[in-house]
A and B are shown apart, each in its own frame.
Chain A
Amino acid sequence: MKLSAIRPIALVLSRELVITVLLLLGVSFVVFIILFASPGDPFSVLLDGQLSTAESKAGLREAMGAPRSWYVQYLTWLAGMLSGNFGTSIRMGLPVLPEVLRVGLSTLILTIGSLIITLLIAVPIALYSALHGTDKISWPLTMFSYVISALPVFWLGYIVIYLFTHKLGLFPIAFGFSTAGQKYRWLYQLLPIFVLGVGNGTVSEVIRFLRQEMARVMSEDYIRTARAKGASVWKHAFKEGLLIPATEIIASKIPFILGGAVIVEQVFNWPGMGRMAWQAAQDRDYPVIMGIAILAAVFVRMGSLFQSLVYVAVNPRASKE
């Protein structure tokens, strides 16, 4: 990376940050409106198990504060958020921010891990078919990737668990990160990552996209020129044909993967955002839902930030656009 790349990178960063802030505002607003307009409230959940009489509901309302108009509530939440206070969970009474960050981190690990697996499978196949076209080797591989991409991830999870427990005699439930006292712990943690990376349907799209881009770049004039000159083709082709499209496609797939993570987290008991979102949605735990929505949006933006950074680092001149 050259020194001249630093200034464009700074420009990109600041631009992305501004966009991110605007987007987060938009996201939080939309989520808030949906929640506000929905029927049901968290009070019944707290008193559930014993029917609530009218008096206890009134006492509850008094304790929680009288309902204010929606924009006042939203602005209050927003003000709190800017000072780092995301409120406290209605169900558990714990402050939202540390909880959401905790689960967000484990989901992030799951997501990034699965992206790596996806790339490990997709890149070689894409490269091969871009270079050699459709032949006896690339076609079965491509078909194979299509088939596993169409596989529903929830079923794949069960199969994997079954294979491990009944055929190999190992118990692959990763309780987050400390499955103390069990052999091959690291293997257990890999399983949900593997299932998400393979089964979530991203593999085939990544292959398709990469192959397309790679083929396009290979046929570009300047590559032909380089070849004719005898210069190294790979350096140029790699940057534009592989690195950039790869970051582009994985950045755009992050929302999709976060969605798949909800299912994988359930099957493998992985303490992540998906499970928390589901529970919070049922409980109408508004502060938690807002927190998760914001964090999810942040992850997605991080993906696109990463993509822009890579683009600029490779092509410092491109930032001027």
Chain B
Amino acid sequence: MQIFIHSAFGISIFDEEVIMRRIAVVLLLIVATVMVSSIAAGAGRKKDSKPDGGNLSYGEYGRPATLDPITSNEMISLRLTELIFNGLVGINEKQEIVPELAERWDCSADGRTYTFYLRKDVMWHPKEGEEPKPFTAEDVLFTYKIMMHPKTITPLKVRYEFILGVEKIDDYTVKFTLKRPILNALAKFSIKVIPKHGPSNPLYLTRNDHFVQSPIGTGPYILKNITAEREVVLNANENYFKGRPHIDKLIAKPFADQNIMTQGLMFNAIDMIVLVNPRDLPEIQGDKRFILQPYNALSYSFFGYNVRNPLLADKRVRKAFTHAVNRQEMLDSFFNGQGTIISGPFAPGSWAYNLDVQPLSFDPEQARTLLQEAGFSRGPDGFMQKDGKRLALSLKIPIEKESEAVKRVVLAFKNYLKNIGADIKVEFMELQAWNQDVFFEHDFDIIFAMWVFDDSADISSLFHSGEIGPWKYNFGGYSNPEVDGLINESKLTLDHEKRRTINRKLHTILAEENPYTFLWTLTNYAAYHKKVRRVAIHPYKFFSYADDWFMEEKDQK
């Protein structure tokens, strides 16, 4: 201290009065600096005492096409936008709705108006060399308008058609008016907001806009660049309004071959795999360096039937098929038993699932009996037939990137059905041709697919007779007045308990009717190096809580 005063102010330390004055000045300076820095870092450090630092690279199967939340339609992009953008509300680890860009909100009594009061301290990611701009209600309006513009190519339009309009009350207040009250509407406002100054075209967003490759958001991570090898590099946002994320850098590395991705993890080329291939689970499980973390997605796999085909219109035939398939054997052999067999149209983790309904047992004898009851008898070639028509059906599957597990399930299905006398012809098709056949031409008998749900457990578009038609989700043409009635009832009620009762009833009916053979919900596993701590995973978006992940200082590279 003495030396400092001496060299800074060049006076003798022996002049007491001057010294006292100088000390006061210096103390003031120090206090001022601390104050200023704490204000600047007010948006800074997180309140927990975990260390900052470290880089986390994770493997993705493929590369994202676009990085904005509006045009992107792949899971890879979805995970990245989760890191770069925020919504008006968010969802915490307990699946409750929490404030995000909006600090609080009001809902009108009739459920048709939602008013959001926005935070005033949020800044957009700054462009190179520019000052960061503040987030305001204008951006929310802009996001809605550009999303709904007819020339914007986005899968989101359908999801938000229930909104009648948006109004800006003032710079930090926005009001949404709905066409009709919707259950769980609040959850839908987790839609990501984009800045008004972001896209170059103020009216509609196409993939030509540079914004889709250089996104600007408010989220915990800022896009730094995309390297020559198409790795996406994200840097921590120092000014993130929830506190700077701990991990400095996130890098998404694309892989063309899934086998190699697992090897990448084992050899430290990457630190994390978002979704581990079931057959690699034993290898990773045995390795103490990694943690395997399960997370349950609200999705399930099924075989869907086209009831327009008279052979499948009889529910006994479909029930027979469900009996014929040994779901447990498939789950054990192909997926290491990591999953839950389901009996009805909901994911087992969902509030709507009826635990009282047991899955139909594996019983080929019963299956054959049912077929006989339905009027089938064994033909000369060993396969069942009725009125001269063989029980021959086509099973169409789209060729997708990693379809090895799909192949196994499909082939096993064919085998099981051969055992009860049904001849299934397996057809792998190009994805677009498959979409065309299933959802437009309805030219198929059976398909193998998977539905992914949000937590509203809304199956109305799948089984309601009103949803039969070109490009609608009731592709099988299933029509049951009782089911229709129940679905209508559940749409009208806003009482959660009542909805649950209705859903349980639907579950029981559909388990008996078998418009699908419901298969299972797989347990998803993420694998990561144990140096990454406090990893909470969102079942669908994965990185929602990534800003809280951290690494101990000794582990940081």
Contact = CB atoms under 8 A, between A and B. Distances in A.
| A–B interface present (Cβ within 8 A) | yes
Given A49-B74, A63-B206, A92-B66, A269 B257 contact: yes
Given A47-B155, A90-B207, A171 B256 contact: no
B65 interface: yes
Interface string B221-243: 00000011111000000000000
Given A50-B155, A178-B228, A161 B263 contact: yes
Given A54-B471, A161-B260, A173-B264, A92 B65 contact: yes
Interface in A22-78: 39-40, 44-56, 59-60, 62-63
Contacts of B431: 48, 282
Contacts, number: 121
Given A49-B74, A51-B472, A271 B230 contact: yes
A275 interface: yes
A267 B260 contact: yes
A20 B97 CA distance: 63
A152 interface: no
A60 B152 CA distance: 7
A48 B439 CA distance: 12
Interface in B318-347: none
B159 interface: yes
B435 A173 contact: no
B65 A91 contact: yes
B228 A176 contact: yes
B159 A50 contact: yes
Contacts of B268: 171
B257 A266 contact: yes
B229 A176 contact: yes
Nearest to B64: A92
B212 interface: yes
A171 B267 contact: yes
B159 A93 contact: no
B207 A91 contact: yes
A59 B150 CA distance: 5
B153 A49 contact: no
Interface in B44-84: 65-66, 71, 73-74
Interface string A256-286: 0000000001110101000100000010100
B208 A93 contact: yes
B253 interface: yes
Interface residues on A, range: 35 or more
A165 interface: yes
A56 B432 CA distance: 17
Contacts of A150: none
A186 B103 CA distance: 53
Interface in B241-263: 253-257, 260, 263
B228 A50 contact: no
Given A53-B158, A178-B228, A93 B207 contact: yes
Nearest to A162: B263
Contacts of B20: none
A175 interface: yes
B8 interface: no
A50 B267 contact: no
Interface string B408-443: 000000000000000000000011110110010000
Nearest to A274: B256
Contacts of A265: 256
Name the residue among A51, A52, A55, A91 with the largest chain B CB count within 10 angstroms: A51
B264 A88 contact: no
A93 B206 contact: yes
Interface in A171-216: 171, 173, 175-179, 181-182
A296 to B, nearest CB: 19
B256 A165 contact: no
Contact of B153 (A54, A63, A173): A63
B155 A266 contact: no
B228 A171 contact: no
Nearest to A181: B557
Nearest to B266: A165
Nearest to A87: B208
A118 to B, nearest CB: 24
Contact of B213 (A51, A63, A94, A275): A94
A173 B473 contact: no
B204 interface: yes
Interface string B457-489: 000000000000011110000000000000000
A177 B228 contact: yes
Is the contact region of chain B dominated by helix, strand, or loop, or is it mixed? loop
A88 B229 CA distance: 20
Contacts of A182: 269
A62 B156 CA distance: 18
A88 B208 contact: yes
A93 B256 contact: no
A154 to B, nearest CB: 11
B151 interface: yes
B267 A175 contact: no
A175 B253 contact: yes
A60 B229 contact: no
Contact of B229 (A89, A90, A178): A178
B150 A62 contact: yes
A317 interface: no
Contact of B73 (A50, A55, A88): A50
A127 B213 CA distance: 53
Contact of A63 (B158, B204, B254): B204
Given A173-B264, A266-B256, A269-B257, A93 B213 contact: yes
B260 to A, nearest CB: 6
Contacts of A94: 213
Contacts of A90: 207
Given A44-B432, A161-B263, A171-B269, A178 B227 contact: yes
Name the residue among B155, B212, B266 with the largest chain A CB count within 10 angstroms: B155
B66 to A, nearest CB: 7
Given A50-B159, A266-B257, A267-B257, A171 B263 contact: yes
Contacts of B153: 46-47, 56, 59-60, 63
Contacts of A178: 227-229
Given A93-B207, A266-B256, A51 B228 contact: no
A224 interface: no
A175 B229 contact: yes
A7 interface: no
Nearest to A175: B229
B157 interface: yes
B365 interface: no
Interface in A129-180: 161, 165, 170-171, 173, 175-179
Interface of B: 65-66, 71, 73-74, 150-153, 155-159, 204, 206-209, 212-213, 227-231, 253-257, 260, 263-264, 266-269, 430-433, 435-436, 439, 470-473, 557
Interface of A: 39-40, 44-56, 59-60, 62-63, 88-94, 102, 161, 165, 170-171, 173, 175-179, 181-182, 265-267, 269, 271, 275, 282, 284
Given A60-B153, A275-B256, 14 more contacts: A45-B432, A46-B71, A47-B153, A49-B155, A50-B156, A51-B158, A56-B158, A59-B151, A62-B150, A63-B206, A93-B206, A93-B209, A171-B264, A282-B431
List 10 tightest A-B contacts by C-beta distance, closest first.
Answer: A50-B155, A93-B207, A171-B267, A49-B73, A176-B229, A59-B150, A63-B151, A175-B229, A40-B432, A93-B208
23 contacts: A40-B432, A44-B432, A45-B432, A48-B73, A49-B74, A51-B158, A52-B471, A54-B471, A56-B158, A59-B150, A63-B151, A63-B153, A63-B206, A89-B207, A93-B66, A93-B208, A165-B266, A165-B267, A170-B267, A176-B227, A176-B229, A182-B269, A284-B432
